[in-house]
Amino acid sequence: NAGVTQTPKFRILKIGQSMTLQCTQDMNHNYMYWYRQDPGMGLKLIYYSVGAGITDKGEVPNGYNVSRSTTEDFPLRLELAAPSQTSVYFCASSYLGGAGSTEAFFGQGTRLTVV
Amino acid sequence: AQSVTQPDIHITVSEGASLELRCNYSYGATPYLFWYVQSPGQGLQLLLKYFSGDTLVQGIKGFEAEFKRSQSSFNLRKPSVHWSDAAEYFCAVVTYNNNDMRFGAGTRLTVKP
């Protein structure tokens, strides 16, 4: 099983550029999440989805957009990159969330630098 | 406001010594609690989880954690630390009436020879 796959692993963006971080899972999980990890800050939830066609904001959604057109894919879009978006981004998925929550499986992360 | 607190940013222990990592949460509803471990340059791996029932839960790699509702805590323990346990550890919470998973800031563990 591939699990959760994120691409790219590394990326350098210039201020104002846009990009999409890809995330796909092959476990037929309903729930998918995007987190950013900054030193000393832990993981902050950006967006999450409870199923295809349904997304919701997390703690730090500003500057990002997501879509969930299929169960497998949950891309994260940065429209106008800013230095504050320099971070490591993790995608995760779980079969269930909320009531009856199950374990989340994480991708390997995408290290993004905005210069 | 909902929050997960890991009071210790960095802990150093000697190999073979016991370990306790603290986690406190502030949620109004019944929580589902998790501990994850992150090795350098890697994603997160689940160590253990608590949903209900016995408040002492066993996980992988010899870790255990105890849920104490009265203290709003879910501390992670290991009787004897190995050098390979050096990593960053994250406590996470999901509540019954929420769909998102919130993490603490993490505790970095260093193991001395």
Check: CB of residue A91 under 8 Å from CB of residue A106: yes
Using the Cβ of A90 and the Cβ atoms of chain B, whether some distance falls under 8 Å is answered with: yes
The Cα–Cα gap between A75 and B65 comes to 34
The Cα–Cα gap between A108 and B41 comes to 8
The Cα–Cα gap between A33 and A45 comes to 7
Using the Cβ of A97 and the Cβ atoms of chain B, whether some distance falls under 8 Å is answered with: yes
pLDDT for the residue numbered B32: 86
Mark yes or no for CB contact B44/A58 under 8 Å: no
A73 DSSP assignment: B
Residue of A10, A29, A30, A43 to mutate, testing the B interface (most B Cβ within 10 Å of its Cβ): A43
For residue A91, give every residue at least 6 positions away whose Cβ sits within 8 Å of its Cβ, in sequence order, or none.
Answer: A4, A6, A21, A23, A25, A32, A33, A34, A35, A74, A76, A106, A107
pLDDT for the residue numbered A100: 58
Q: Helix, strand or coil for residue A44?
A: strand
Q: Which residues in chain B touch residue A43, judged by CB atoms under 8 angstroms apart?
A: 44, 90, 103
Using the Cβ of A58 and the Cβ atoms of chain B, whether some distance falls under 8 Å is answered with: yes
Question: pLDDT tens-digit profile of A31-87?
Answer: 999 999 998 788 899 999 989 999 999 889 999 999 999 999 999 999 899 999 999
Which H or E run contains A36?
A: strand A31-38
Question: pLDDT tens-digit profile of A2-15?
Answer: 799 999 999 999 99
Q: If you count them, how many residues does chain A have?
A: 115
List, in sequence order, every residue forming a beta bridge with B111; answer none if it has no partner: B13
Cα B39 to the center of its chain, rounded Å: 14
pLDDT for the residue numbered A32: 93
Residue of B99, B103, B107 to mutate, testing the A interface (most A Cβ within 10 Å of its Cβ): B99
Q: Is the pLDDT of residue B92 over 80?
A: yes
Q: Is the pLDDT of residue B1 over 70?
A: no
Residue A37 Cα distances to A52, B30, B56, angstroms: 25, 26, 29
Question: pLDDT tens-digit profile of B13-61?
Answer: 999 999 999 999 987 666 888 999 998 888 889 999 988 788 899 999 9
Among residues B19, B22, B20, the alpha carbon closest in space to that of B5 is found at: B22
Residue with more model confidence, A53 or A99: A53
What average pLDDT is seen over chain B? 90
Tokens, residue A108: 């390997």
Q: Is the pLDDT of residue A99 over 60?
A: no
User: Can you give the C-alpha Rg of chain B in angstroms?
Assistant: 14
What would the DSSP string read from start to end of B17-78? S-EEE--EEE-SSPEEEEEEEE-TTS-EEEEEEE-SS-SEEE-GGG-EEEEEGGGTEEEEEE
pLDDT for the residue numbered B90: 95
**If contacts are CB pairs under 8 Å, which of residues 37-56 in chain A contact chain B?**
40-45, 48, 50, 56
Q: Compute the average pLDDT of residues A90-114.
A: 84
